Structures are given as C-alpha cells and as structure tokens.
Structure 1
C-alpha cells in the first residue's frame, strides 16, 4: 500500500505549531488534539517535529522550567519525510532504523499529511489479514 492510499483513508489533517510556542502550549495541544506529535512550521516551511518523547526528554533534563521554553529548543530539527508514492514497507524500515514514530508527508514541497507508526502497523495487519483470507479461500475451494 502507498502513503497516498493511507492518507485517503485517514485524512490529510496536519496539526502544526510555531517554533516560538512554549513547550507547555505544545503539550496542551498534544492532549487536546489527541496526537503524538506536532509538525513545527515557520513561514510555511517544516522546521521540525515535536513529539511526546521530546516533551518528556525536556522535562527529564530541565524539570518544570522546560515548560516555559520555546518549542524550537526541544523539537527534532532533522526531519525525515515521506512522499505520497512511497510504499509502507519502505516507511517501516525508515521508521525502525531511525527510531521515529511520525513522518510528515511532502508533495511538491507542500506538507500534505502525516503518517504515524500506528498507521503503518494498521496497514500491514490489514494486508496480512487479507492475504490470509485469500489463502484460506483458495485452499477451501480446492
């Protein structure tokens, strides 16, 4: 399955945040929107990704004072992207190798979605279930 197909099913909503927002504001948005990461954008450009992990690491390092600091100080600035034409297996490998859980999707230099590790796993489970069902039907048909 391709990234574009996943986005058709799950939608292309992307929750963004300014790099100047505080970590406390970002944490509130993560909870309010029920997501694991926000895409950090500055002037229509992806500047980073802020995940729940980034928030926890900031708190572990700096305590409650981190909550008043800007997102830019704690975001992951080296962003790994996906493209709509990529397959799920390529994404799984990239996410596993780099230990990341969210990939912003870019098309023609425009942010058009986000794929999470949960989306990838769900897709692989659906594919495996479909294949097992097909094999079962083939065997039963004789």
Structure 2
C-alpha cells in the first residue's frame, strides 16, 4: 500500500504550532487533538516536530520551567519526511531505523499530512486481514 492511500483514508489534517509558542501550548494541543506530535511551522515551512517524547525529555531535564520556554528549544529540528509515492514498507523501515513515530508527508514541496506508526500498524493489520479473508474464500471455493 502507498502513503497516498493511507492519507486518503485518514485525511490530510495536520496539527501545527509555531516555534516561538511555549511548550505548554504544545502540550495543550497534543492533549486537545489527541495526537502524539505536532509539526512546527514558520511561514509555511516545516522547521521541526514536537512530540510527546520531546516534551518528556524537556520536563525531565528542566522541570516545570521547560513548559514556559519556546517549542523551538525542545523540538526535533532534523525532520525526516516521506513522499506520498512511498510504500508502507518503506515507512516502516525508516521509522524503525530512525526510531521515530511520526513522519510528515511532503507532496510537491508542500505538507500533505502526517503518518504515525499507529497508521502504519493499522494498515498492516488491515492488509493481513484482507489476505486471510482472501485465502479463506479461495479454500472454501476449492
């Protein structure tokens, strides 16, 4: 399955935050939107990703004071992107190798969505279920 198909199913909604916003605003949005990461954007350009892991790391290192500091101090600035034409297998390999759980998707240089490890796992489960059903149908017809 291709990334474009996952985006069609889940939609292209992307939740973002500005790099100068306080980390507490990122926490509130992560909770409100019920997501594990936000894309950090400045002037229509992706400059980072702030994830639950980044928040935990920040609070662990700096205590409650971290919540008042800008997102830019705690985000992952080395963003790993994916392309809509890539396969789920490509994403799984990259996410596993890089130990990341969220990949922003760029289509023609524009942010088209975000794929999480949960999306990838759901896709793999759905595919395995379809294959099993196909085999049951084949065996029953034989």
Under TM normalisation by the shorter chain, which class is it?
over 0.9
Query: Unaligned 5+ residue runs, structure 1?
Result: none
Aligned equivalents of 1:57 and 1:6: distance in 2? 30
Query: Unaligned 5+ residue runs, structure 2?
Result: none
Residue of structure 2 in register with 1:139 after alignment = 139
Aligned residues: 142
Per-residue CA distance 1:91-125 (angstroms, 9 max, x = gap): 00000111100000001110010000000000000
Residue of structure 1 in register with 2:114 after alignment = 114
Indicate the RMSD between aligned Cα atoms, in angstroms.
Answer: 0.6
Q: CA deviation at 1:14?
A: 0.3
Q: CA deviation at 1:141?
A: 1.3
Find out whether 1:11 has 2:11 as its counterpart: yes
Secondary structure class of the residue paired with 2:118: helix
Aligned equivalents of 1:9 and 1:33: distance in 2? 18
Secondary structure class of the residue paired with 2:100: coil
Q: TM-score scaled by structure 1?
A: 0.98
Aligned equivalents of 1:37 and 1:23: distance in 2? 12
Moved over 4 A (4+): none
